[in-house]
Every structure is written in C-alpha cells, then in structure tokens.
Structure 1
C-alpha cells in the first residue's frame, strides 16, 4: 500500500483552470497531510500561486508544460500534443512512475484517449470503463459504470465492468461484497438485450467472487440505495447519468423558485432552510466528484470541468483511495479468480 500517494495534477484543466486546481490541492492536503503533488502546467504561474501557500509548496513539485488541451479539441488532436500539454504530461508521470495517479478537469475524450494510449489496458481487460459515484438514499453512494467510454458492449465486457466496479466499491466504500445489478428495461429475467441477459447468466454463476449479483434494476430505482454497483454499456449509462444530473438541478431550481414566489413562501423557506441545505448538499455534484477510468495500468481520475475547489479536493481524495487500495491488483486478482472457473465465455445459444 502506498501510504503517501503522489498525485499528478493537470493544473491547467477545467473551466476555471489553475486557481481552482491549486485551491483544491490545498484543501486535499489539509484533509490528508500525507499527500504529495506533482503540479503540471505554466511554471511561472504555478510558482507564483504556491508562493502564497507554503504548506502546499512543501508537498509539491512543479513540472512545466507549454500547452493546454482545450475543451473543443478532438481526441485525435490532443494525442499529438501529449508530450507538451499539461494533461499529457500528468498522465506520462503515472506511466513513468513519477506519480501514482493523475487528476484532470479537462476534456474527457482527450483524457480517455491519452490515458488509454499511454497506460494501456490491463492484461485480460478488453475495454476500460468510466466509473463515478452517485448519491443514493442508502447509507453509501453508488458506483455506476460505464458512463460513456464504450457505446457498445458485449456480455463479457459487462461482466468485466461488474468486477471492476465491485473492486472500486470495496476500495472506496469499504464494502466486503458490494451488491451489483445490471441496468435494464425491466427486472424480469427475459427482459433486455441478449448482451445484458448473457452477462446476467455469467454473473449468477460467479458465486466465488467478492460481490453479490442481485439481478436487474430499472433506471427509476437508481437512487433508492438498492445496489452498490450498477453496470451498463456506456451509451445507456451516459444517458442515465445526464438524466440524474438534470433531475437534481430541476428539483433544486424548482424548490428555489417555489420558496421565492411569495412572502408566505419566503417565510416558509426560513423555517425549512436546514432541510433545504441538506438536500442541496446531498445533490451537489462537487460532493461526489471524481470519475475514474477503470481497467488501465494506472489511476486516472476525471474531475468535472465545472467543479469548485471542494470538488477538486474530492477527486484528489478518490485518486488517493484507489492508489492506497492498489485498485489495479484487486481488479486483476478478481478477474483471474473468475476466469479460473468454468465460466470463461457466454454459452452458445
């Protein structure tokens, strides 16, 4: 276990760039003084920012980068600047062993392309998956994957995602046997595509894995706390994620409008402010920030581009937890254990 994770940060990525990334790193260090950082970006700007933060400066090394990947850059364009950009050099630090994980709030497609090219997928993993934590009504958050890295998946891909997601839930939430379910259009065994049904058959037979497969779940039950890991292809998962995020914003905006619609409503808001604050905190994406590309030979965490300093600190915390838990080894061990049994492929129909 790495007691003092060294996190490479793309300091220029994200909507607000360097100020938010620096403040996020400072907050993360305050919460976890063992952390060490490699800040990648404009050397002069980083040095100036660190001069006002001696504690962060003492835990940080700067690596100069002359280029920044824009949000509008295509992945193919970004890859050609991997050796000069702050994003590319942060990932390269993980590849070269100068850092244990990389965090960026920049272009998601570019980050995925660069990370996959530089770090490669783990042995035995067909495709990496993008996983993130979502809030629920239960005691724990929910790990959901894939959220957009793979638009089409076969049954074996979905099984790999389930194993990776369960390893993530064990590492981040401390669950011994996470409850895993497949996102589907119904809970009945006959519902869904061939790929989803075949993946369910494989997972039902995987009784020796450190997870509990609980069958299918529909999208309207995502936040009910009925699962710890929910698995889908990237196309479906991304739509579900955006629907959840949009609904959360809709609810908070609707409540804000309702509470300001009249004097009586404003008076009611004063009385209900603690409850409203609790709801807003629970739904705030900054409190669940930090999506990770699982299945790579290294930890790469995607911070939301619009995350505030608290959100960046949360993403750094996710990276540190995954490093300390040796997430790649956990995934490799679980998949090897699964494949050592008789369930190496979907049975012929």
Structure 2
C-alpha cells in the first residue's frame, strides 16, 4: 500500500506528521511506501531530528506552498496549486499513491479531493465518516463536516455509503441506520430531517430504524447516524470537548484530597481504558467517503500516535475495498429504483 502524507498540514506540523511516520514504519508492515509531501528541506530536517532513516519505504515529494487556516478551501486549491495537500491528492489522482492522509485545513482537503478525484458515479457530494464511541458499541457518524448545507437526497446517499462502510469495515451484517433529529417521532425535526425521513423509509437496501436523539448516541446507538455536515461537525467537536472536560474535572476532584488521590491511583487502569475508548487518537482520522479515491482527514491537533493511526486507517480503507462496496450498494439501489 502506498500512502501520500501531507507533512505540512496540521497544528503541529511537521513534527507530529513525521512522528506518525516513524511509528507507522515500525508498526505497519503492510505499508509499502510513504510519500512525504512538503518542503524538502523541512522534511529532511525533521527526519534527522527524530532519527528517521531514509529508506525504500520513504520518498520525499516536493511542494513549495502551505495552506493557512485563514485560506478558504477553494482559494487554497486555486491559488496554491503547489501546496502540500494539492500535490498529495495529485499523487492519488495519478495512481502513484493509493490514499492521501492530511491533518491540515479540512476545507482544502475536501475541496482538493473533490475537484481532483471527483465523486463516484451517482454520488453528488462526498461525506466525512467518523467512528464514535458509546456505552455499548462504536457507531458511524456521517456527515461529520464535509457539507454544511445538504439536500435530502444527499443524506440518503450518506446512508448508503455509511451502511457499506459499517458492513464491510466495522463488521455489521445488517447495519441499522438512524436519522439525527430532536425527537424520535416522525413529525419531529426541521424540514431537511422530515423530508429525509420520508425518503429513507421508502429506500430499499437501507435498514432504517427512524429518528434518533442525542441521548441515543451514547447509550444504544444505531450502527450509522445520518445528518448534514453542519449538525455532524457540532456533534463531533462537542463530543470531543466534553470528553476532554470530563477527564479534566475528574482529575481535579481526584487530586483534591489524599483519600481521593489514593482511590485515583487504584482506579488508574480503569481510567486509562476509558480514555482509550473515547480518544480520537485511536481512530486517527476520518475517511471522506464517496470519492473516486481515498482521502483520510486527521484532526488538526493530531498527535504523532493519531497520525500513525490515520495512516493505518488509510491502509484499512484500501484493504477493505470500501469504494467498490459503495459502488455496489449504489448500483443495487439504482437497479431497484429503475423504471419498469
């Protein structure tokens, strides 16, 4: 497997992307080659600083520009044609790399991937899929931020793509799909939610269980939760911030007295297990589904460990042949809906 890594993307670039490279080389034997895309002298200096030796599994691919967070996604692609994210996506477009991984500007990554790779047939817009934790089993949130403004038809496509991912990557034999709303009743929700619900109830090939509320997500969630990118991104960021805040409050209370410090020491293994279940670093990145290629979007503040896992997710997405499975699901959907 050959992965193009946007070394210049992220809040802690190039240190953390290159730290992820070091860990990936040690733990991912299926990784045939990593294309390190960015300013060559910066990459070489970081390799030396972290003790990453040159070898046949690494190749530096030059890019002279870096996308700033203040850039719009479209301007980043049009005005910075030699940016690290654009050049990384080019490698996938040309077939040199099998996937691209970036922790940089999400809008630039989505726009560059959409313009250069295009969508799969019959997919109008790609969607970010994020694996989320719960009290029972992980679930898939789609769309987690690619499209703030969506039509009901786009959400139906999200349901089809999410079902294919849950079935073939997460191992769910008949994925249950829920629609994010402010109530489980059919009449609840805004106009987008109501119209999407009508379509999902009449769409063969989707195991639609109806609307889901916020508290359903953390107790007994469906396998796939469908929403627009605006709602999904709020859910994603609020969940991550809440988990961080809760651990901070728990730590503060534990350290407040000698008795609770002792109890905290005894409970430390349990806290570590919970942290592992809820940490975004464990998944590392989120696949942008619906493209004629593979793009993995990592968090801007991703650690070296998270970047390694984002590279692993790219390998998993390739090995599970997610795109062919999405195309098969779409073909079946269109066949069922074809006029007699």
TM bracket (short chain): over 0.9
Structure-2 change in CA distance of 1:284 and 1:224 (3 Å): same
In the TM superposition, what are the counterparts of 1:81-100 in structure 2 within 5 Å? 81-100=79-98
In the alignment, the residues of structure 1 paired with residue 161 and residue 6 of structure 2 have an alpha-carbon distance, to the nearest angstrom, of 25
Shifted more, 93-102 versus 129-138: the winner is: 129-138
Normalised by the length of structure 1, the TM-score is: 0.90
Q: 1:201 aligns with which of 195, 198, 202?
A: 198
Equivalent residue, structure 2, for 1:178:
175
Aligned residue for 1:15, secondary structure, equals: coil
Equivalent residue, structure 1, for 2:252:
257
Equivalent residue, structure 2, for 1:347:
none
In the alignment, the residues of structure 2 paired with residue 330 and residue 22 of structure 1 have an alpha-carbon distance, to the nearest angstrom, of 32
1:128 and 2:126 correspond: yes
Shifted more, 323-332 versus 307-316: the winner is: 323-332
Please list the CA deviations of residues 164-187 of structure 1 after superposition, one character each: whole Å capped at 9, or x if unmatched: 111222232122222211111111
In the TM superposition, what are the counterparts of 1:112-261 in structure 2 within 5 Å? 112-139=110-137, 141-207=138-204, 209=205, 211-261=206-256
Q: 2:4 aligns with which of 2, 8, 15?
A: 8
Q: 1:106 aligns with which of 104, 118, 124?
A: 104
Equivalent residue, structure 1, for 2:52:
53
In the alignment, the residues of structure 2 paired with residue 59 and residue 46 of structure 1 have an alpha-carbon distance, to the nearest angstrom, of 15
Please list the CA deviations of residues 196-234 of structure 1 after superposition, one character each: whole Å capped at 9, or x if unmatched: 233333333344x2x522211101221224211110011
The CA deviation at 1:343 is 7.9
In the TM superposition, what are the counterparts of 1:70-81 in structure 2 within 5 Å? 70-81=68-79
Gaps of at least 5 residues in structure 2 are none
- Does the 8 Å CA contact 1:178/1:228 hold for their aligned counterparts? yes
Please list the CA deviations of residues 238-272 of structure 1 after superposition, one character each: whole Å capped at 9, or x if unmatched: 22222212211121111011011122221221122
The CA deviation at 1:193 is 3.0
- Does the 8 Å CA contact 1:12/1:86 hold for their aligned counterparts? yes
Aligned residue for 1:321, secondary structure, equals: helix
Give aligned pairs, total: 336
Q: 2:335 aligns with which of 326, 337, 340?
A: 340
Aligned residue for 1:123, secondary structure, equals: coil
1:42 and 2:50 correspond: no
Equivalent residue, structure 1, for 2:304:
309
Structure-2 change in CA distance of 1:220 and 1:343 (3 Å): farther
Please list the CA deviations of residues 311-332 of structure 1 after superposition, one character each: whole Å capped at 9, or x if unmatched: 0111111111111222222111
- Does the 8 Å CA contact 2:67/2:80 hold for their aligned counterparts? no
Equivalent residue, structure 2, for 1:33:
29
In the alignment, the residues of structure 2 paired with residue 124 and residue 24 of structure 1 have an alpha-carbon distance, to the nearest angstrom, of 35
Shifted more, 280-289 versus 193-202: the winner is: 193-202
Aligned residue for 2:92, secondary structure, equals: helix
Q: CA RMSD in A?
A: 1.9
In the alignment, the residues of structure 2 paired with residue 222 and residue 32 of structure 1 have an alpha-carbon distance, to the nearest angstrom, of 32
In the alignment, the residues of structure 1 paired with residue 75 and residue 195 of structure 2 have an alpha-carbon distance, to the nearest angstrom, of 38
In the alignment, the residues of structure 2 paired with residue 268 and residue 343 of structure 1 have an alpha-carbon distance, to the nearest angstrom, of 63
